Amino acid sequence: MRVSFLAAALLLVSLVSAQESVEGYWQGAMMRDGSARIVDVDFFRDGDKLKARIRVGDWIAERPAVAVTQDGNVVKLELTPEQPATLHLDALAGEMVGTSGGLVPPIRVHLKRALRPVTVPVVTEDVRFTSGDVTLAGTLYLPPGAGPHPAVVSIHGRGKQTRAGFRGWARLLAERGVASLIYDKRGAGESTGNYDSATMHDLANDAVAAISFLARRKEIDAKQIGVRGNSAGGWVSAIVANRSPVPLAFIITTVGPADSVRDQQIHVAQYNMRRSGIDFTPQEYAAAAAHMGLVTGFAYSGTGWEALQESVRKAKTTRWARFVDLPEKQDYEDILWVRAKQYDPAADLSRIRTPFLALYGEDDYVVPPQENVPKLERYLKEAGNQDFRIVVVPKAGHGLSLSDEFRTLPGDVHYWLWPKLAPEALRVQVEWLLAHVDRR
């Protein structure tokens, strides 16, 4: 009898200890001024360290795991990098409550221990393929089943970007029957090569290599491979559409420019001025555009440095100085980028008959729809494209996202809008893509 009692006591201690550990799957919400944001948190051990993977329901991007500390019933973690959360654990009830960050009004967090949800069994495989003398490292996301599956190659925007930013999209599409190949841009992550000296055509060659790699895979339907280019990836997509030996089945661009690189740089300055709230005169807009013309002109040709420096000196005294480039050295970052990436997509876009979906943000000042939508529509019509759609997402910025703000609705109803991907941007892309492929 004593042995049985001791065993039961030990079992009870074991159960209590297990309950006091936060390891496992939790679901809940962040609340601010009465508005909720759904969040899932998976606590796990990485060696001797406690970490958490956090998924926010209205963001697609997968977030890297964050560090977690637990001292008794006090659990500290980062729901976002800017907002560390301090939570208090009720182990018996399987709940945690607390606050995140020091904002006013505060963000309150409430998590509940839950069963891990059943998910579609997506297969991931780390791969490598070559583009000339460059080796590109990537990850292939495959839907369940033998296939062959339709597939998307994701093309980066500007900068030395890795595949990390595409993981959420790749998983979302694979769960819906569409494979994805995502990769580290040349010179970034595990890929070799030099991004800084790469031209738009070099980057297009990399995407073509990715398409060719997919076409050789037995799990992939080579007749149903397309691209999804983000921001500067829209320029790259236009080149790929006319260069790939494997014909594209579809093209999606998100805030992809129809402007030339030179015009886009000028328009960034002008539209940034417009959104500043300053009442600039037409003469000031013209002067800023002329100055940026000198910047891009020098970047393209390598001549006119003295005239540019004189313009920089005068620009520093103006109200629009902070909205333009003011290079004092010839190796200024934007000059080097424009010089390496100089490109005008007009000729390539005017030849594309592939089904084409383009999305722009109404409030995007980096790739303003006012400048780019009319051009893209004209170019695709010139090509004789019979299947294209251009969508301007209301209130969305360059990331096709909505900014956080306190909003007022009719009837004097107020609520806090969390920053998120615009719902229309997600719905349109997924529905359009699934309507243009045959899933098995």
- Using one digit for the tens of pLDDT, what is the confidence trace for 204-233? 999 999 999 999 999 999 999 999 999 999
Contact predicate 183/191, CB 8 Å:
yes
Looking at the fold, whether 237 and 173 belong to one and the same domain comes out as yes
Band of residue 118 on the pLDDT scale cut at 50, 70, 90 = confident
CB under 8 Å to 329, separation ≥6 — which residues?
A: none
**Closest residue by Cα to residue 429 from 223, 244, 221, 178:** 178
pLDDT in tens, 254-299: 999 999 999 999 999 999 999 999 999 999 999 999 999 999 999 9
Domain with 230, as residue range(s), is: 123-260+343-435
pLDDT in tens, 27-76: 999 888 878 888 899 999 999 899 999 888 777 777 788 889 898 899 98
* Amino acid (1-letter code) at residue 313: R
Count structural domains, the chain.
3
Sign of torsion over alpha carbons 42, 44, 50, 51: negative
Contact predicate 250/228, CB 8 Å:
no
Band of residue 80 on the pLDDT scale cut at 50, 70, 90 = low
pLDDT in tens, 167-185: 999 999 999 999 999 999 9
Looking at the fold, whether 241 and 389 belong to one and the same domain comes out as yes
In a domain, 1, yes or no: no
What angle do the packed helices 282-301 and 305-315 form, to 10 degrees? Answer: 150
In a domain, 242, yes or no: yes
pLDDT in tens, 295-322: 999 999 999 999 999 999 999 999 999 9
Average pLDDT, integer, range 334-347: 95
* 398: pLDDT strictly greater than 90: yes
Looking at the fold, whether 254 and 354 belong to one and the same domain comes out as yes
Q: What is the pLDDT of residue 13?
A: 44
Looking at the fold, whether 301 and 206 belong to one and the same domain comes out as no
3 state DSSP class of 241: helix
Looking at the fold, whether 198 and 301 belong to one and the same domain comes out as no
* 323: pLDDT strictly greater than 60: yes
Percent over 90 (pLDDT), the chain: 72
3 state DSSP class of 52: strand
Which of 91, 113, 135 is a domain's end point? Answer: 113
Looking at the fold, whether 429 and 387 belong to one and the same domain comes out as yes
Which of 341, 367, 386 is a domain's end point? Answer: 341
In a domain, 411, yes or no: yes
Looking at the fold, whether 304 and 357 belong to one and the same domain comes out as no
CATH number at residue 233: 3.40.50.1820
Q: What is the pLDDT of residue 123?
A: 94
Band of residue 79 on the pLDDT scale cut at 50, 70, 90 = low
State which H helix or E strand residue 20 sits in: helix 2-20
Looking at the fold, whether 304 and 354 belong to one and the same domain comes out as no
In a domain, 420, yes or no: yes
Q: What is the pLDDT of residue 12?
A: 42
Q: How many residues does the chain have?
A: 440
- Three-state SS annotation for 156-170: CCCCCCCHHHHHHHH
> What secondary structure does DSSP assign to 61-110, as a single string?
SPPPPEEEEEETTEEEEEEETTEEEEEEEETTTTEEEEEESS-SSPEEEE
Which of 113, 145, 171 is a domain's end point? Answer: 113
Q: What is the pLDDT of residue 195?
A: 94
**Closest residue by Cα to residue 393 from 255, 267, 252, 258:** 255
Which token pair is 156?
A: 């980066």
- How far is 202 from 200, CA to CA, in rounded Å? 5
Which token pair is 216?
A: 């050789």
pTM check: above 0.85: yes
Which token pair is 222?
A: 């080579």
Band of residue 7 on the pLDDT scale cut at 50, 70, 90 = low
Looking at the fold, whether 288 and 431 belong to one and the same domain comes out as no
**Cα→Cα distances 131→23, 181, 223, 281, 429, Å:** 43, 15, 21, 49, 28
Phi and psi, residue 238, nearest 5°: -65, -40
CB under 8 Å to 295, separation ≥6 — which residues?
A: 265, 308, 324, 325, 327, 334, 335, 338
Looking at the fold, whether 232 and 278 belong to one and the same domain comes out as no
41-49 contact pairs (CB < 8 A, 24+): 41/77, 41/111, 42/116, 43/68
Looking at the fold, whether 55 and 106 belong to one and the same domain comes out as yes
Q: What is the pLDDT of residue 148?
A: 96
